[in-house]
Amino acid sequence: MTVCDLSEKRCVPCEGGVDKLTVQQIEQFMPEIPEWSLQDDVLVRRFTFDNFVQALEFTNQVGALSEQEAHHPEFVLTWGRVDLRIWTHAIDGLSENDFILAAKVDRL
């Protein structure tokens, strides 16, 4: 599977009751989103911009995408920077949805 394949998929609503991805599954997905890192079962990435307005515009784009996918990251917005954290809250870990959303964010 490639990032293109992931970014073409849709997030599936998760209400819990499914298993978190295993370490082996996570290791298979990570090369597909090379700019992201893993911190305590959370995907993280920092995006940098020339100013606050650009960072805010990006945040709004990710917000719109998140609404379309019904999968919402955690944002930290500050001057010239946006930090994103993605995980599946309902299972307190990572699911395929997290990698799909990360791949879609990378395409923005």
Q: What is the pTM of this model?
A: 0.86
DSSP H helical ranges for the chain: 3-8, 23-29, 52-69, 96-107
**Residue 92 falls in which region: left (phi positive, over 0), alpha (psi -120 to 50) or beta:** left
Q: What is the pLDDT of residue 36?
A: 97
Each of the 108 residues of the chain gets a pLDDT tens digit; together they read: 444 476 666 555 566 667 889 999 999 999 999 999 999 899 999 999 999 999 999 999 999 999 998 888 999 999 999 999 999 988 889 998 899 999 999 988
11-36 as b/e: b if 16+ CB within 10 A: beebeeeeeebeeeebeebeebbeeb
CATH topology of domain 3-10+20-107: Gyrase A; domain 2 (3.30.1360)
Q: What token pair was written down for 96?
A: 């395929």
